[in-house]
Structure 1
Amino acid sequence: MPDQITRRAWLLAAIQRESGPISTGRAEQLLATTGWSCHRNTARKDLRALAARGDLQPVDADGRRTYQTTITGEDGRS
């Protein structure tokens, strides 16, 4: 079997391919395309965990929390 990837590692890679900030709803949509759980609370916890590790930065705007990546991808985007 190929290398195993964790749900959070997969989500981080998917977020790095996205442009702009990621909301909990968008993270839930991304996870829904996989075999992993796609419940809103799971997505919220994963985003918080990735932010706690320093992979994402929380951004509060207009009463909504979104996340943006802190890691620069191959194309130079953050």
Structure 2
Amino acid sequence: MPDQTTRRAWLLTAIQREPGPITTQRAEQLLATTTWSCHRNTARKDLRALSRRGFLFAINADGRRTYHSTTRPR
């Protein structure tokens, strides 16, 4: 059976393993290591979607938005 992991689920798992906050640039770098095509706008949309679903929370500081995980890695 093919792997059914979605890009956003994979990104959330990767974020949970990161030691600090995640920026759009870091999310883009993480996704660049996968087979999914990813550009900055895709990473930004994925972070926003994960935030809306309650998996991440955003903090705005000095004109930059960073995301932090609200869940622990499994």
TM-score normalised according to structure 1 size: 0.89
Q: Which runs of 4+ in 1 moved over 3 A?
A: none
> How many residues were matched structurally?
74
Aligned to 2:70: 70
For 1:62 and 1:52, the matched residues in 2 are separated by 22
Q: Structure 1, unaligned stretches of length 5 or more? A: none
Relative contact order (alpha carbons < 8 A, sep ≥ 6): 1 or 2 greater? Answer: 2
- Identical aligned residues as a percent: 74
RMSD over aligned Cα atoms: 1.1
Q: Structure 2, unaligned stretches of length 5 or more? A: none
Superposition map of 1:1-78 within 5 A:
1=1, 3-73=3-73
Q: Aligned-pair distance for 1:62?
A: 1.1
Letter in 2 for 1:54: G
